[in-house]
Amino acid sequence: MSETPILRVENLSKSYGDLQVLKSVSFDVYKGETKAFIGPSGTGKSTLLRCINQLTVPDSGSVYLNGEEITHSGAKINEYRQKMGMVFQNFNLFDHLTAVRNVEIALLKVKKMDKAEARKKAMFELERVGLADRADYYPAQLSGGQAQRVSIARALAMDPDVMLFDEPTSALDPELKREVLEVMRKLAADGMTMLIVTHEMHFATSFATDILFMENGEIVERGRPADIPTSPSFERTRAFMGTYQE
Ligand SMILES: Nc1ncnc2c1ncn2[C@@H]1O[C@H](COP(=O)(O)OP(=O)(O)O)[C@@H](O)[C@H]1O
Ligand SMILES: [Mg+2]
């Protein structure tokens, strides 16, 4: 019997009016894999992540988390969403809450942890992203890189099965990208299962298990990063990488 994928995406399609943004996208994600999605902007990468956690409802197709279908799951979707940590380009932190409060709030409100337990867990996750010493800072007092690491800690606090990153470093200055990328690299090394939409080619290819190249709503090329330089199935990826300067 083969292992059940943590996440199965099956024939996901989505249109906005006449524009078909996702065209029957399918892939499986196994525990510990890091899949990097690259490709030109406007090709449906964000829509794909949003359809996976049902922030956007796909027109057709299915998503399974640990073998259970989460599409059409109604109210239960909130439970499934907790298992999929989402990290956005613009952090989406609460400005009026300190770093540690941002991390613990869902533990208190959603997981109904008691205060001491939530604080302990929040501090553990801040430690994990190297920010224990910034626990009492407000988002405005943090650099963009630190704010993004807080939002990663917030997602990790829910003990997700899979982390979804949508261009997590795109809003950051080059010197701040690195600290966020290093946190992600460490997560991957620790066995976290991750889907990452990114333009950071060097980073994506340095530790992703798979590269998936999207164009016009389809995954047009996919394979192992090591095969990009030579494999004929990575022609478009190579061309894209050639035009994209980091
Ligand atoms: N809510 C929406 N309503 C209408 N069009 C949308 C919406 N969200 C995305 N789109 C369109 O879908 C296409 C894919 O968008 P997106 O998934 O954000 O691409 P990417 O993340 O690859 O840049 C774009 O043409 C975008 O304008
Ligand atoms: Mg996008």
Which 3-state string (H, E, C) describes the chain?
CCCCCCEEEEEEEEEECCEEEEEEEEEEECCCCEEEEECCCCCCHHHHHHHHCCCCCCCEEEEEECCEECCCCHHHHHHHHHCEEEECCCCCCCCCCCHHHHHHHHHHHCCCCCHHHHHHHHHHHHHHCCCHHHCCCCHHHCCHHHHHHHHHHHHHCCCCCEEEEECCCCCCCHHHHHHHHHHHHHHHHCCCCEEEECCCHHHHHHHCCEEEEEECCEEEEEECHHHCCCCHHHHHHHHHHHHCCC
**Nearest-ligand number for the alpha carbon of 90:** 2
CB 139 within 8 A of CB 106: no
Tell me if 44 CB under 6 Å of ligand 1: yes
**Predicted pLDDT at 204:** 84
Mean pLDDT over 102-107 rounds to: 97
Mean pLDDT over 177-184 rounds to: 94
The domain ranges of the chain are 1-83+179-246, 93-159
Residue 130 CB neighbour total at 10 angstroms: 15
**Predicted pLDDT at 229:** 86
Residue whose CA is at the smallest distance from ligand 1 atom 16: 44
Q: What is each CA distance from 28 to 44, 135, 194, in whole angstroms?
A: 18, 36, 12
pLDDT band at 73 (very low <50, low <70, confident <90, very high): confident
**Predicted pLDDT at 2:** 65
CA 129 from chain centre, in angstroms, equals 16
Mean pLDDT over 224-239 rounds to: 90
Tell me if 45 CB under 6 Å of ligand 1: yes
Tell me if 16 CB under 6 Å of ligand 1: yes
**Predicted pLDDT at 96:** 98
Residue whose CA is at the smallest distance from ligand 1 atom 25: 42
pLDDT band at 74 (very low <50, low <70, confident <90, very high): confident
Tell me if 43 CB under 6 Å of ligand 1: yes
Tell me if 47 CB under 6 Å of ligand 1: yes
16-25, 210-219, 229-238 — which is least confidently predicted? 229-238
- Model confidence pLDDT, tens digit, residues 42-70: 999 999 999 999 999 999 999 999 999 99
Query: Distance, CA 222 to ligand 2 centroid (Å)?
Result: 19
Mean pLDDT over 192-214 rounds to: 92
Mean pLDDT over 163-175 rounds to: 94
**Domain spanning 1-83+179-246: CATH superfamily:** P-loop containing nucleotide triphosphate hydrolases (3.40.50.300)
**Predicted pLDDT at 3:** 87
**Predicted pLDDT at 28:** 98
Mean pLDDT over 189-210 rounds to: 92
Structure tokens at 164: 């979804």
Tell me if 156 CB under 6 Å of ligand 1: no
pLDDT band at 244 (very low <50, low <70, confident <90, very high): low
pLDDT band at 205 (very low <50, low <70, confident <90, very high): confident
